[in-house]
């Protein structure tokens, strides 16, 4: 537990630094591991003017995080066969019978469109945040009127509070009971979320956080909208302790397994909610010029945002912002690590704080993520391939290769290629300098090294038949670099790490090499990544050209050099940063 305790102390320091200079009356956050609230903290007050510090049982309104409860309730009705996600929404909400998309060829709006924010209805923050208490009859009138579309349904992600208000009406009509009662019966009671409610009157006064806005150098209390027609998009009140249960409800869906089902939704349905359906383009953030960019892609699932981070892998969650409140919850399915933040200021910056807390905890590595595990068939296939590489056997080849392998490249040619590799490298053994990579449990790429600086890259992919066979088999020989190539590479790395980074003057460079351009590149590489070490050779013929892996602090680059026919003069040099590889997390 020491590693986790240290990580939690570091996360608390992140929160303290983040809150400096920010006008937030009170804030609470929690760290969840495998559904257990392992750490919680409160800062400030839940009622300005009172000594009322927040804790894990203080109740805040969580605004749009409510959408995950609404979506889960819809999925529970789907699982019972009471609706289908591709049903027209007007079948269950008759006020929408005359609703048409913006173009004549627009599809009928379905339940799935609304769940995934793909209905095309115009985004409605902050208008929607003021519709929480809309009268039910007035909501019916709104739905019967004209609604504005930003996009044709099914073509783009467009965040819609109104869409989730419509899903609340769907739940009421299908279940035959008021929306909030359906959510309580199907989700809150089974999960033991006793602090969670849609009604302010059900929250004990001493535990209720009041909402505020900073105005004219003072906190002004914001009125609390009552329960109404759009409660299904933002009406939940809850605590950090209950949010830990809710986050654990979703992380428990991973990994897929044969064990007994627990909870009001099947694990398969909970995983389904956490898959991106309506996607958006990747975002690239450059925090500073001397650090790597943060790259995030993703989309909206069922009531949840699903983000794929180049460094952290998949992160799932939702934010919430209302007059008087700001909140965020997020978790990493591969580790079961989650964070929840609630605060009582209008659109409080809970999302960036939750992001920073999560990043701090993930960087500490105190809660390891599940790695992608090779299937048993892949392990056996790899063992068979290595035996085949050591000594070809027709019977073994016939037993492991799928039918396409001989058609793609005749087996006699493959056998001859392996014989050439054995002659060039002699004995091969696993290469500790280049880790194995897998894209799926049925795919592997690994390296074997000889005793002289050469290596062989091997890649296999198994087929979908049963039992699976090897459908892809690739081998690439990388001979040991010549002394001239090694010396040139070492000189360049020394120059990058030197006091005055520039192309070494003692290198014999051909007329086609742009020395000023290389000087600039070396300077940039040195400023951002030095010191670097010269790693293994990963490509080339070893005589005229070789590519090496350069390694620095959390970064890898490729250095490619080419010599002339005499193997003495440098005719080309290239340094390129390798794209970051998202972690190979298991489900």
pTM of the model: 0.93
DSSP letter string, 196-220: -BS-GGGS-GGGBPPPEEEETTEEE
Contacts of 190 (CB under 8 A, 6+ apart): 263, 264
Burial label, 429 (beta-carbon count in 10 A; 0-12, 13-18, 19+): exposed
Q: Please answer whether residues 246 and 68 qualify as being in contact, where contact means their C-beta atoms are separated by less than 8 angstroms.
A: yes
Q: Is 493 helix (H, G, I), strand (E, B) or coil?
A: helix
pLDDT of amino acid 586: 76
Q: What is the mean pLDDT of residues 292-310?
A: 93
pLDDT of amino acid 7: 97
First to last CA, the chain: 24
Biggest CA pair distance of the chain: 87
Residue 584 has pLDDT above 80, yes or no: no
Residue 277 has pLDDT above 70, yes or no: yes
Q: pLDDT-based confidence at 286, cuts 50/70/90?
A: confident
The CATH number that domain 483-577 falls under is: 3.10.450
Residue 298 phi/psi, 5-degree rounding, is: 165, -155
- Percent of the chain, pLDDT > 70? 100
Q: What is the mean pLDDT of residues 289-298?
A: 82
How far apart CA 365 and CA 339 sit, in angstroms, is 15
Q: Please answer whether residues 199 and 188 qualify as being in contact, where contact means their C-beta atoms are separated by less than 8 angstroms.
A: no
How far apart CA 540 and CA 537 sit, in angstroms, is 8
Residue 291 has pLDDT above 90, yes or no: no
Give the pair of three-digit tokens for residue 360. Answer: 């701090």
Residue among 464, 477, 466, 457 at smallest CA distance from 385:
457
Q: What is the pLDDT of residues 147-176, one digit of tens each?
A: 999 999 999 999 999 999 999 999 999 999
Q: What is the pLDDT of residues 531-541, one digit of tens each?
A: 999 999 999 99
Residue 100 has pLDDT above 80, yes or no: yes
Say what the alpha-carbon torsion angle 6, 11, 14, 19 is, to the nearest 10 degrees.
Answer: -140
Task: Say which range, 284-293, 300-309, 559-568, has the weakest mean pLDDT.
Answer: 284-293
Q: pLDDT-based confidence at 293, cuts 50/70/90?
A: confident
Q: pLDDT-based confidence at 446, cuts 50/70/90?
A: very high
Q: What is the mean pLDDT of residues 556-566?
A: 96
pLDDT of amino acid 171: 98
Choices 3.90.550, 2.40.10, 2.60.40, 3.10.450: CATH for 376-478 = 3.10.450
pLDDT of amino acid 581: 75
Q: pLDDT-based confidence at 497, cuts 50/70/90?
A: very high
Q: pLDDT-based confidence at 583, cuts 50/70/90?
A: confident
pLDDT of amino acid 553: 85
Q: What is the pLDDT of residues 200-247, one digit of tens each?
A: 999 999 999 999 999 999 999 999 999 999 999 999 999 999 999 999
pLDDT of amino acid 1: 59
Q: What is the mean pLDDT of residues 356-362?
A: 97
Parts of the chain belonging to CATH 3.10.450: 376-478, 483-577
Query: Within a 10 A sphere around the Cβ of 152, how many other Cβ atoms?
Result: 16
Residue 288 has pLDDT above 80, yes or no: no
Q: What is the pLDDT of residues 500-515, one digit of tens each?
A: 999 998 899 999 999 9
Q: What is the pLDDT of residues 36-78, one digit of tens each?
A: 999 999 999 999 999 999 999 999 999 999 999 999 999 999 9
Tell me the average pLDDT of the chain: 96
pLDDT of amino acid 554: 81
Query: What CATH homologous superfamily does 2-63+195-256+263-364 map to?
Result: DD-peptidase/beta-lactamase superfamily (3.40.710.10)
Q: pLDDT-based confidence at 135, cuts 50/70/90?
A: very high
Give the pair of three-digit tokens for residue 152. Answer: 């044709």
Residue among 235, 129, 245 at smallest CA distance from 179:
235
Q: Please answer whether residues 404 and 469 qualify as being in contact, where contact means their C-beta atoms are separated by less than 8 angstroms.
A: no
Parts of the chain belonging to CATH 3.40.710.10: 2-63+195-256+263-364
């Amino acid at each position: 537990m020491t590693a986790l305790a240290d990580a939690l102390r570091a996360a608390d320091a992140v929160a303290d630094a983040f809150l400096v200079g920010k006008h937030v009356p009170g804030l609470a956050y929690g760290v969840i591991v495998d559904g257990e609230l392992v750490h919680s903290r409160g800062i400030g007050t839940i009622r300005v003017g009172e000594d009322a510090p927040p804790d894990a049982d203080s109740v805040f309104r969580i605004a749009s995080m409510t959408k995950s409860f609404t979506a889960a309730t819809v999925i529970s009705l789907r699982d019972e066969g009471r609706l289908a996600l591709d049903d027209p929404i007007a079948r269950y909400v008759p006020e929408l019978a005359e609703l048409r998309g913006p173009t004549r060829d627009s599809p009928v709006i379905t339940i799935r469109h609304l769940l995934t924010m793909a209905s095309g209805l115009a985004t409605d923050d902050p208008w929607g945040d003021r519709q929480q208490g809309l009268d039910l009859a007035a909501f019916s009138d709104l739905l019967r009127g004209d609604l504005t579309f930003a996009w044709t349904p099914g073509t783009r992600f467009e965040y819609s509070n109104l869409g989730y208000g419509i899903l609340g009406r769907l739940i009421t009509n299908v279940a035959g009971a008021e929306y909030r009662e359906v959510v309580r019966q199907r989700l809150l009671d089974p999960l033991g979320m006793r602090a969670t409610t849609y009604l302010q009157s059900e929250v004990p006064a001493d535990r209720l956080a009041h909402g505020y806005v900073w105005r004219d150098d003072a906190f002004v209390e914001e009125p609390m909208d009552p329960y109404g027609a759009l409660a299904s998009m933002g009406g939940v009140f809850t605590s950090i302790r209950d949010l830990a249960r809710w986050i654990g409800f979703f992380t428990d869906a991973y990994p897929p397994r044969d064990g007994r089902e627990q909870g009001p939704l099947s694990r398969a349905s909970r995983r389904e909610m956490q898959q991106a359906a309506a996607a958006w383009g990747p975002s690239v953030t450059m925090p500073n010029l001397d650090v790597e960019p943060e790259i995030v892609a993703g989309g909206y699932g069922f009531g949840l945002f699903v983000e794929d981070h180049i460094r952290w892998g998949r992160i799932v969650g939702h934010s919430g912002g209302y007059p008087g409140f700001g909140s965020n919850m997020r978790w990493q399915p591969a580790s079961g690590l989650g964070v929840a933040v609630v605060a009582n200021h209008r659109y409080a910056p809970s999302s960036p704080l939750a992001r920073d807390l999560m990043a701090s905890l993930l960087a500490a590595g105190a809660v390891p993520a599940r790695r992608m595990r090779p299937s048993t068939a892949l392990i056996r296939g790899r063992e068979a391939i290595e035996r085949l590489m050591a000594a070809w056997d027709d019977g073994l080849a016939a037993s492991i290769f799928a039918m396409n392998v001989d058609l793609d490249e005749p087996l006699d040619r493959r056998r001859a290629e392996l014989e050439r590799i054995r002659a060039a490298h002699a004995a091969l053994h696993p290469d500790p300098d280049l880790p194995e990579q897998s894209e799926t449990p049925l795919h592997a790429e690994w390296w074997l090294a000889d005793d002289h600086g050469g290596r062989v890259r091997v890649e296999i992919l198994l087929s979908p038949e049963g039992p699976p066979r090897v459908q892809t088999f690739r081998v690439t020989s990388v001979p040991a670099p010549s002394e001239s190539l090694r010396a040139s590479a070492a000189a360049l790395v020394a120059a990058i790490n030197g006091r005055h980074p520039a192309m070494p003057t003692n290198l014999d460079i051909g007329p086609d090499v742009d020395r000023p351009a290389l000087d600039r590149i070396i300077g940039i590489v040195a400023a951002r990544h030095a010191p670097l070490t010269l790693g293994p050779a990963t490509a080339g013929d070893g005589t005229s050209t070789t590519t090496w892996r350069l390694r620095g602090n959390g970064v890898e680059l490729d250095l490619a050099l080419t010599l002339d026919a005499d193997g003495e003069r440098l005719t080309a040099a290239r340094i390129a940063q390798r794209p970051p590889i998202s972690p190979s997390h298991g489900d």
